[in-house]
Amino acid sequence: MKQVISCQLNGKATELLVDTRQSLLEALRGHGLTGTKEGCCVGECGACTVLIDDVPINACIALAVRAEGTSIRTIEGEAVNGQLSAVQEAYVDAGAVQCGFCTPGLVMKTTAFVEDLNRDDSIDRDSLTREDIRREHAGNLCRCTGYQTIVDAAVNAVNAVKS
């Protein structure tokens, strides 16, 4: 059965025709947004991380019909007019991109983390540890980087947005 869902997709009002059994990942990729990657299909790897109403979710295990009325952000919505976001710049500067398969999901997870910090004045950014950042990125797997450069990128993104 097909259903039309209305949402904000990367800041634009959008209607998507989806199968009611289709995952959000399948719907996004079918809509031409292939930056969101299909990894495990069971919510284990985080390659498909997108933001729904600013909360990171695994799009592979979310039904597309549940996105009705929400705001969805994918990696394609992060660079504006060809200008990388602060988080994307931090990933480039830290050399946190190797094969690139997991990068979109990790960038989205870091973006949510940085935006949460900006919304919550009670968090002391200066007391954040690398372990705090690792914990925030749990659920996003990367086989190439060894995670050190990803944590470096997240630290740089927190500091860049803080300044």
Q: What is the pLDDT of residues 18-54, one digit of tens each?
A: 999 999 999 999 999 999 999 999 999 999 999 999 9
Angle of helix 148-162 versus helix 86-94 axis, rounded to 10:
140
Stretch 133-146: mean pLDDT, rounded? 91
Selected residue with higher pLDDT from 125 and 97:
97
- What is the overall mean pLDDT for the chain? 94
pLDDT at 162 (0 to 100): 62
Q: What angle do CA 111, 16, 103 make, to 5 degrees?
A: 25
Strands of 12-19's sheet, edge to edge?
12-19, 2-9, 71-73, 49-52, 55-58
CA nearest to 125, candidates 163, 162, 72, 91: 162
d(CA 163, CA 81): 23
Whether 92 shows a pLDDT value over 80: the answer reads yes
Residue 5, CA distances (Å) to 24, 51, 63, 96 in order: 11, 17, 11, 35
Residue with tokens 């597309």: 64
Confidence band, pLDDT 50/70/90 cuts, at residue 95: very high
Whether 75 shows a pLDDT value over 90: the answer reads yes
Stretch 56-81: mean pLDDT, rounded? 97
Residue with tokens 């009002």: 13
DSSP for 11-28 reads TEEEEEEEETT-BHHHHH
**Same fold for the pair 2-77 and 86-162:** no
For residue 8, give both structure tokens: 């904000």
Per-residue pLDDT tens digits for 121-137: 777 777 889 999 999 99
Stretch 80-99: mean pLDDT, rounded? 94
Radius of gyration of the chain (CA): 16
Q: Is the dihedral of CA 63, 67, 72, 76 positive or negative?
A: positive
| Domain ranges across the chain | 2-77, 86-162
For residue 161, give both structure tokens: 């947005």
Task: State in words which class domain 86-162 has.
Answer: mainly alpha
CATH code matching the domain that covers 2-77, chosen among 3.40.50.300, 3.10.20.30, 3.30.750.24, 3.30.1520.10: 3.10.20.30
pLDDT at 143 (0 to 100): 87
